């Protein structure tokens, strides 16, 4: 069983909610990414999303755009991200998803990239700009490699399209709780429970909710209605603030643990 699927089976068995963290790979450098991944596992993170730096991250708000820029400036490339995943795998079995734009996969060649990702120890891909209608070959290659292909559902997604998307996905469904790009918000969307319930009528896959969650209170609230909370920009912002400080890993992990503890108490 894939590590992502295995983790959600275990969470369900234990009556716990999942906690997913997003960070930009290579921000501020790939050694920091490796160390953060290991620390996050100890802090209670269930799935790690690594954003592969891209020059035109259209789904991302300013915080994550700047993280991608810092990743590119540190020399981070898709092959180097995979090398870092392989390095993480020497010490950890934390489930890892690459958050990636399709152009980066296309440039390498889809079959080659998926093969290389699986070999490195990646568990799933979340391709931001690949719609299910154009993903037949991609999904077949992902299944063959044993990787989860994770799809997004948005607040504006019509019911018939939700049904199409969730039937095509695997691992978990990522519900984008707000319209627009990634970024920290002051409150959770008021219709969240209703939207999650609507998605549940179409799938038995776990539903993870992200985009805008920035505090332990919000993470706990999301955990009370969904199967997992996803926090990205708020963690990336911590990395930006601590930068190359010797306290980077300790400081960010402390914040991440406060979020993880909140989700686990939901």
Nearest residue to 8 (alpha-carbon basis) of 225, 192, 228: 228
201-237 per-residue burial string, b: 16 or more CB within 10 A, e: under 16: ebbebbbbbbbbbbbbebbbbbbebbbbbbbbbbbbb
**Whether the Cβ atoms of residue 53 and residue 71 lie closer than 8 Å to each other:** yes
CA distances 250 to 18, 84, 232, 254, Å, are: 22, 20, 17, 6
Q: In what order do the strands lie in the sheet with 173-176?
A: 148-149, 124-127, 96-100, 47-51, 18-24, 228-231, 207-210, 173-176, 151-153
Strand partners, 179: none
Contact 208, 95 (CB under 8 A): no
List the alpha helices (DSSP H) in 30-98. Answer: 30-43, 62-73, 78-89
The token pair at 204 is 């038995």
Helix (H) or strand (E) holding 252: helix 248-264
HSE, side-chain direction, 13 A CA sphere, residue 130: 23
Question: Considering all CA atoms of the chain, what is the largest pairwise distance in Å, rounded to the nearest integer?
Answer: 50
The residues that are catalytic are 49, 60
């Amino acid at each position: 069983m894939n590590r992502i699927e295995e983790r959600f089976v275990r969470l369900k068995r234990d009556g716990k909610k999942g906690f997913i963290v997003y960070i930009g790979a290579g921000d501020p450098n790939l050694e920091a990414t490796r160390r953060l991944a290991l620390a996050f596992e100890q802090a209670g993170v269930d799935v790690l999303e690594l954003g592969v730096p891209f020059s035109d991250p259209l789904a991302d708000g300013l915080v994550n755009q700047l993280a991608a820029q810092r990743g590119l400036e540190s020399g981070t490339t898709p092959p180097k991200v995979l090398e870092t995943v392989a390095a993480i795998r020497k010490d950890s079995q934390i489930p890892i998803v690459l958050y990636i734009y399709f152009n980066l996969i296309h440039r390498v060649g889809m079959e080659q990239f998926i093969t290389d990702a699986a070999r490195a120890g990646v568990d799933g891909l979340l391709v931001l700009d690949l719609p299910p209608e154009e993903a037949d070959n991609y999904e077949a290659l992902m299944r063959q490699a044993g990787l989860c292909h994770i799809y997004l559902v948005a607040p504006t997604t019509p019911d018939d399209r939700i049904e199409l998307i969730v039937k095509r996905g695997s691992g978990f469904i990522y519900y984008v709780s707000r319209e627009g790009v990634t970024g920290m918000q002051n409150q959770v969307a008021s219709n969240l429970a209703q939207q999650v319930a609507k998605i549940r009528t179409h799938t038995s896959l776990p539903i993870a909710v992200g985009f805008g969650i920035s505090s332990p209170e919000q993470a706990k609230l999301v955990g009370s209605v969904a199967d997992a909370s996803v926090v990205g920009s708020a963690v990336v912002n911590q990395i930006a603030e601590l930068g190359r400080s010797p306290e980077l890993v300790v400081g960010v992990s402390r914040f991440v643990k406060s979020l993880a503890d909140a989700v686990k108490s939901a």
